[in-house]
Amino acid sequence: MAEMSALERWLVNSPFRAWLQRREVRTFLRWAKLSPDACVLDMGCGRGVSTSLIIEQLNPRCLSAFDFDPSMVDLARRRLARRLQDDSLDLRVADATEMPYEDGLFDAVFESGVVHHVPDWKAALREVGRVLKPGGRFCFAEPSRKKVRGFYRILPHAIESTFDPEEWQAALAEAGLRVEGPLRSMPLWDICGVATKNAGERS
Ligand SMILES: C[S@@+](CC[C@H](N)C(=O)[O-])C[C@H]1O[C@@H](n2cnc3c(N)ncnc32)[C@H](O)[C@@H]1O
């Protein structure tokens, strides 16, 4: 599994990244149109900033978050200590290609900058399709292969885990996820949007 370089870890854990995440979570919540009764999954939550923003901006009935890196989950555990005292937040070390959740559990899955770290990134998208309820929303923000090779070239990334927008859309369709409208951009990412799990889709 690809690990982040020291430089990327520093950037991901910087105040600048936290500032951008506030905008991203607000945008995801606008796209997903969730009620506080929703069950939300924060995939690749890193140090838990996005998770705490989901609590601050929606406070969903149930919230799960995971990351592959135990040191990031430790940081998240400290940040979210108060919320972890009740049963409404589930935080774990887990792999996006083998999510420890039952089928059709979530109303929404959010992720920023995670899938391009996963060598078998299509398996991660299949897992998103599996854990979403029919009609559930997947809000994503990723860099394209072109962006990884250009803007992000000082950060080492395995080329097999990158994709272009067409490959991304095709893999979403294979996972039973239909993209709504054109792909969009955010400051760090050029493959952003929301996809809906097909109603009645078997995973
Ligand atoms: C660029 S960071 C993004 C972190 C956070 N989502 C953010 O927006 O700042 C990528 C994150 O993906 C996690 N990650 C990489 N591979 C993963 C996998 N297979 N399953 C879950 N998380 C993974 C890394 O540990 C890291 O926290």
Could you list the residue range(s) of the whole structural domain that residue 103 is in? 6-177
* Mean pLDDT, range 24-33, rounded to an integer: 96
- If we measure between CA atoms, which residue out of 177, 196, 62 comes closest to residue 137? 196
pLDDT tens string 97-148: 999 999 999 999 999 999 999 999 999 999 999 999 999 999 999 999 998 8
Residue 200 φ/ψ region, left for φ over 0, alpha for ψ in the -120 to 50 degree band, beta for the rest: left
Within a domain: 187: no
Within a domain: 29: yes
Domain total of the chain: 1
Beta bridge partners of 63: 40, 89
Within a domain: 92: yes
d(CA 63, CA 108): 10
Q: Would you state the pLDDT for residue 200?
A: 67
Within a domain: 133: yes
Within a domain: 113: yes
* Mean pLDDT, range 62-66, rounded to an integer: 97
Q: Would you state the pLDDT for residue 2?
A: 59
Within a domain: 1: no
Q: Which of 117, 142, 154, 186 to mutate to test the pocket of ligand 1 (most atoms within 8 A of CB)?
A: 117
Give the predicted TM-score (pTM) of the model. Answer: 0.94
Residues with CB under 6 A from ligand 1: 1, 4, 12, 17, 21, 44, 46, 50, 67-69, 72, 95-97, 112-114, 117-118
Within a domain: 202: no
The overall average pLDDT reported for the chain is: 92
User: Best-predicted range by mean pLDDT among 1-15, 18-32, 79-93?
Assistant: 18-32
Burial of 163 (0-12, 13-18, 19+ CB in 10 A): buried
CATH of the domain at 104: 3.40.50.150
177-179 and 132-142: which strand pairing?
unpaired
Within a domain: 109: yes
Q: Would you state the pLDDT for residue 11?
A: 83
Which has the higher per-residue pLDDT, 90 or 10? Answer: 90
